[in-house]
Amino acid sequence: MKYLGAIVSALILASCIQETPPGQALGEADSVPLYKMTVERLPDLPKPRGGQHTMLLGDELTVLGGITDGFVLEPTIAYLQDGAWHQVPMKYPHYYGFTTLLQDGSVMLGGGCSENFGIGQSWGVEIYNPSTHTTKAVGIMDRKRAGASASVLSDGRVVIAGNWYADDAIGLYEPGKGFSFVKEPAVQRAYPLILPISPENALIFSSEDTHGNFMQDLVDQLSGDPFTEPLLKEWNILPYMVNPTSADDLRTGEYAYLLPASRQEDGQAAIIRLTDGRFSLLETERPLPMTLPGGEPLVWMLSLQVDRASRSAWMYALSGNGRFVAARIGYDPIFEGGKATLEMFLADKPGGGSFFNSVPRVLDGKRIVLVGGVLSGARNDSNFEATREVWLFHTTAPVKKAVPLWWILPVLLLAALAGGWAVKRGGKRPEQDVQDPSKMEKNDLQTRITELVEEKQLFLVKDLKISDIAQELGTNATYISACINGQMGVSFPEFISRYRVEYALKLMTERPELSSLEIWEASGFNNEKTFFRHFRSETGMTPAEWKKQHLTK
């Protein structure tokens, strides 16, 4: 029996010792590498839903608004927590409305259809707080709107524009002051992109007018005169029907964006760069494919999402047979004069739903989630039956393989011998020794903690736990906690946050072009609200105030 523990450990090790590559190679699509995605079913939504806004708020997958069966407005928010969906009511329905992430991590929702079946426009705006799962009304807009978009400026003001079958206008929301009319647009638009290009200015443009007719090349400015953009005469910015994409989804830097587009002449999909108000085509190693191997056509969907942590952007397409395709565009090389990389991933369409009326969202740069959607083939008239299904697509998930018996036997023999040696030594392996701080100088433990955190930059690890530090140092969490509290005079979260703020200041100084979102994500914070709180605590200023004081001449 004394060897049993070693033998069991060896069996567990042997069962995990070989893994297949992250994704099975399926060949190439027009010379672009193509890999297979594995698919996982997540818990179903509480009720069928399509046309909602899907967001990751903190660590909670969240869907806001939309419609349910019968083309009926759905005035609720659902969030996935601890393996189950929970619902909270909204003040107003927001199907065909806008959502935008505010600087404190809350979400503004506004406008939308006033009646079932996608009819009319509405006034109401509310803010959803994901930390308390509550909403509050914040007044009404300068006019009723559906098919509108919104975007947040660096000072917290929100620009609003767009309408559907009603007069458009450019408006503003100022915290504490409410909504106001700014000016008439040069042309009437639906589902516009509103992209800030300075603290005081944003570009406003769209490929559709308020009645769904295509329009080109005329760009409005929040502060400044409208202008024509020659690139938009050749390329249409893909429309964002039902789910307008926010500036934050498209942002690669503080005033830099990637935009999905299609060429008017032949429908070829591509990506347009917008940097400091200048438009250009993103150069990729190869064009985005329009067919799969064997000639199966691809129809590129209406969204793009930037994942700044992995320096990549994602676009999605459906094949002629309804299969789901994701393209990952690695844009990091463009900053050194290179071309963006391109990879593609393929999965058969799961379940009975379609991808119409539901926009995929990328999670952690590796997984893609698809929530709900309407049934019967992604047609614009198929809004009467929705699905509750939620699917997770893995682009890099390893698949374990069985290990041949000839591999297990020598592992077992070696483990048994190792177990016997451990028993002779008293049954304790050296790596399991836990050091008591009474046997080491207090200052020595403090030094080891700080050196470990600094040398390995553990503060950049999101959700870092005190037990992670203890495991690295071969002691336990109680000793680490006592040292940090007693010798350093702070709690463990405060200890780590100081490093994160220091790192954020370094990034802000060395790379001033980075946005606030890119700063807090790269510094190890879980959300913007936590970042702002700790930043102000350490510096006495907000990030914007600090940059203005230290980085402006």
Torsion sign over Cα 211, 77, 326, 271 = positive
Q: Show the tokens assigned to 510.
A: 């060395």
What kind and span of H or E run contains 249?
helix 247-250
Whether 358 has a pLDDT exceeding 90, the answer reads: no
Whether 123 has a pLDDT exceeding 90, the answer reads: yes
User: What's the pLDDT score for residue 440?
Assistant: 43
User: What distance lies between CA 432 and its chain's CA centroid?
Assistant: 39
Q: What is the pLDDT of residues 71-94, one digit of tens each?
A: 999 999 999 998 999 999 999 999
Q: What is the pLDDT of residues 34-56, one digit of tens each?
A: 999 999 999 999 999 988 999 99
Higher pLDDT, residue 180 or 216: 180
Whether 168 has a pLDDT exceeding 90, the answer reads: yes
Contact 388, 333 (CB under 8 A): no
Whether 141 has a pLDDT exceeding 50, the answer reads: yes
Least trusted range by pLDDT, from 42-46, 143-147, 438-442: 438-442
Q: 365: left (phi > 0), else alpha (psi -120 to 50), else beta?
A: left
Which domains can be identified in the chain, with CATH numbers? 1-18+406-431 (no CATH), 495-550 (1.10.10.60)
The DSSP result for 13-40, as a single string, is HHHTS-B--SS-EEEEETTEEEEEPEEE
Whether 5 has a pLDDT exceeding 80, the answer reads: no
Amino acid at 469: I
Least trusted range by pLDDT, from 190-204, 407-421, 523-537: 407-421
Q: Show the tokens assigned to 278.
A: 């200048």
Least trusted range by pLDDT, from 2-16, 272-286, 497-511: 2-16
Whether 482 has a pLDDT exceeding 50, the answer reads: yes
Whether 220 has a pLDDT exceeding 60, the answer reads: yes
Higher pLDDT, residue 179 or 534: 179
Name residue, tokens 């979400």.
107
CB atoms within 10 A of CB 451: 11
Q: What is the mean pLDDT of the chain?
A: 82
User: What's the pLDDT score for residue 1?
Assistant: 38
Residues 6 or more apart in contact with residue 447 via CB below 8 angstroms:
none
Q: What is the pLDDT of residues 91-105, one digit of tens each?
A: 999 999 999 999 888
Whether 357 has a pLDDT exceeding 90, the answer reads: no
Whether 425 has a pLDDT exceeding 80, the answer reads: no
pLDDT bracket for residue 66 (50, 70, 90): very high
Higher pLDDT, residue 86 or 377: 86
3-state SS class at 274: strand
Q: Looking at residues 177-199, what average pLDDT do you find? A: 94
Whether 202 has a pLDDT exceeding 50, the answer reads: yes
pLDDT bracket for residue 167 (50, 70, 90): very high
Strands 341-347 and 32-36, by their bridges, are parallel
Whether 397 has a pLDDT exceeding 50, the answer reads: no
User: What's the pLDDT score for residue 312?
Assistant: 92
Report the length, in residues, of the chain: 553
Whether 20 has a pLDDT exceeding 90, the answer reads: no
CB atoms within 10 A of CB 171: 20
Query: What is the model's pTM?
Result: 0.69
Q: What is the pLDDT of residues 250-264, one digit of tens each?
A: 999 889 999 999 998
Q: Show the tokens assigned to 496.
A: 């780590």
Q: Looking at residues 451-459, what average pLDDT do you find? A: 90
User: What's the pLDDT score for residue 538?
Assistant: 87
List the one residue out of 333, 366, 283 whose CA is nearest residue 35: 366
Distance CA 161, CA 223 (A): 14
